[in-house]
Structure 1
Amino acid sequence: MTANRVVVVTGGASGIGLGVSQMFARKGHPVAMLDVQDEALERESAALRQEGATVLARRVDVTDRDQIDAAYADIRRELGPIAIVVANAGISESIRFLDVSAATWQRMIDINLTGVFNTVQAALADMTEAGWGRVITISSQAAQSGAADRAHYAAAKGGVIGLTRALAREFAANGITVNTIPPSVVATPMAERGIAAGTFPPLEVISQHIPIPRPGTPADIAAACEYLASDGASYVTGQVLGVNGGMFIG
């Protein structure tokens, strides 16, 4: 993979996003880590800089287009044109469908789907001008298989898959590929919070139902991102690349 291409990772300071940020930064790419978690942003970006990586950290709420645009202006000024975007920021929660309020539904759509729209659309001018770009969205197995008590989450992530496929067709002639990774069970702080709250089973229990009997890791997802962002994946677009240990095959 050619180094020095500017990478933007949303939700880049924790969980899957942190694993992706670390991978690209250690491969020699300038990385912009965007997140709402101030302490994690400061800590993790500082750790990467100590390793010699080029990292820019910005507090960004992906539902706020003005914040996205302001951060992207900083990225272009300090790092250069944006070449790779990993739209990872998102939330998950367990609520019975009949208990989902209109406000709860809208918040899920705003963060998990509109946030991807904002993140990707604001970067495409750089990619079309360069005639090269990589867009990777992080969706979810829940959008493929369904998920009880997570209908609003599955719907938002299903929208991400649909958006990914539409953009792949629209921008293929511009040298831009657009693909999505729908993880299943990944060991992240978000999963740990769900386990602690009693809304998510312990990982060792879930692992018994995965053909490769362990939870995924952020590094597993990052490795798939590395491939999809590479020159070797120039003929791969509009695809749903399941990194799930065989938990969903379809």
Structure 2
Amino acid sequence: MSRFDGKVVLITGAGRGIGKAVAQRFAAEGALLALLSNVEADLTETADELVSGGSVVRNYVVDVADERQVEAAIAAAESDFGRIDVLVNNAGIAWEEPLLDIKPDNWKKIIDVNLNGMFWVAQSVARRMASQGGGVIVNMASTNGLVGEANYAHYNASKGGVVLLTKTMAIELGAKGIRVNAVCPGYIQTPMSEAIDSPEFIEQYIRAKIPLGRVGKPEDVAGVFAFLASDDAAFITGETIVVDGGQLAF
């Protein structure tokens, strides 16, 4: 498929995990890629792999929690490519921490990256999409933004905010030709999840909670981002699409 031939796709958190898989999927479908991450080594490795496969890629090192860095990076991407057709607003962080032990700095860090950063990127890109006549934004939420999970109060709160931010953006931006949706992954095995959970925990989690009998792969999520960004989803906006192997069906 070449659904994104000539389209400029900007992806945050593109250096590894789901963001990297999303970049690979859009590259396979012909997109021109603007990749953002705060980890330069990961970003360079991803970009080099894609360029070696024939893709057009530009890298921008940015901390999405810093609105000035965000604006500078997106302005540079617009200058390099001329426009931004699709935003995959993916950058995020997580760690396990009991509610009663959360320090102010830890709460602020997760909210700054996962919610504030999501907003800074979305606002900056949406302003440009509005002036160019439209575009598509797909935000990274989580099943943790739909249901609670112990020891993730800060993460859950940030992702719940993303869900309502997505719906509000869809309401306000639809008349400007901009569709906005969110993807809510369940348990996806990524470098971030592997740093938190032991193999024994993962096996127990699968048995207890996932009807399909496995954790998700980044590629499982990448295809949903591509669908929502494509014309196949032309009449879908304001939605949160769950990708969880049936976990929330319980």
Q: TM-score, normalised by structure 2?
A: 0.95
Larger deviation, residues 204-213 vs 52-61: 204-213
Write the letter of the residue equivalent to 1:248: L
Whether contact under 8 Å (1:2, 1:231) holds in the other structure is: no
Distance 1:65 1:201, change over 3 A: farther
- Looking at structure 2, the residues matched to 15 and 2 of structure 1 have their Cα atoms a distance apart, in angstroms, of 22
Look up the SS of the partner of 1:32 in the other structure: strand
Contact 2:11 2:36 in 1 (8 A): yes
Residue 71 of structure 2 aligns to a residue whose secondary structure is: helix
The answer as to whether partners of 1:131 and 1:174 remain within 8 angstroms in 2 is: yes
1:65 aligned to 2:67? yes
AA aligned opposite 2:203: E
1:82 Cα deviation (Å)? Answer: 0.9
Q: CA deviation at 1:187?
A: 1.1
2: distance between equivalents of 1:24 and 1:92?
25
Alpha-carbon distance in 2 for matches of 1:242, 1:158: 13
CA distance in 2, matches of 1:96, 1:202: 17
Alignment partners' CA distance in 1, 2:236 and 2:45: 35
1:211 is matched with 211
Contact 1:83–1:126 (CA under 8 A) maintained in structure 2: no
Which position in structure 1 is the counterpart of 2:76?
74
Aligned residue identity for 1:150? Y
Structure 1 residue 105: Cα displacement: 1.0
1:90 alignment partner in structure 2:
92
Using the alignment, how far apart are the partners of 2:166 and 2:152 within structure 1? 21
- Aligned partners of 2:32, 2:249: CA distance in 1, in Å? 35
Q: Percent identity?
A: 36
Residue aligning to 2:243: 243
Identify the match of residue 58 of structure 2 among 56, 59, 74: 56
Verify the 8 A CA contact 2:4 2:26 in the aligned structure 1: no
Q: 1:201 to 1:100 in 2, by over 3 A?
A: farther
Unaligned runs of 5+ in 2: none
TM-score, normalised to structure 1, is 0.95
Say which SS state the counterpart of residue 120 (structure 1) adopts: helix
Give the C-alpha shift of residue 91 in structure 1: 0.6
1:125 positional shift: 2.2
The structure-2 alpha-carbon separation of the partners of 1:94 and 1:219, relative to structure 1 and needing over 3 Å to count, comes to same
Q: In 2 relative to 1, CA 96–201 (structure 1 residues): closer, same or farther, beyond 3 Å?
A: farther
Give, in whole Å, the separation in 1 of the partners of 2:229 and 2:24.
Answer: 15
Q: What are the within-5 Å matches in structure 2 for residues 59-208 of structure 1?
A: 59-195=61-197, 202-208=201-207
- Of the structure 1 ranges 155-164 and 26-35, higher mean CA displacement relative to structure 2 is found in 26-35
Which amino acid letter does the alignment assign opposite residue 214 of structure 2?
A: R
Q: 1:109-131 deviations in whole A, cap 9, x for unaligned?
A: 10100000011101112211232
Tell me how far apart the structure 1 counterparts of residues 128 and 40 of structure 2 sit (CA, whole Å). Answer: 27
User: 2:18 is matched by which residue type in structure 1?
Assistant: I
- Give the unaligned 5+ runs of structure 1: none
Root mean square deviation, CA, Å:
1.4
Once the 2 structures are TM-superposed, how far is the Cα of residue 201 of structure 1 from its aligned partner? Answer: 5.6
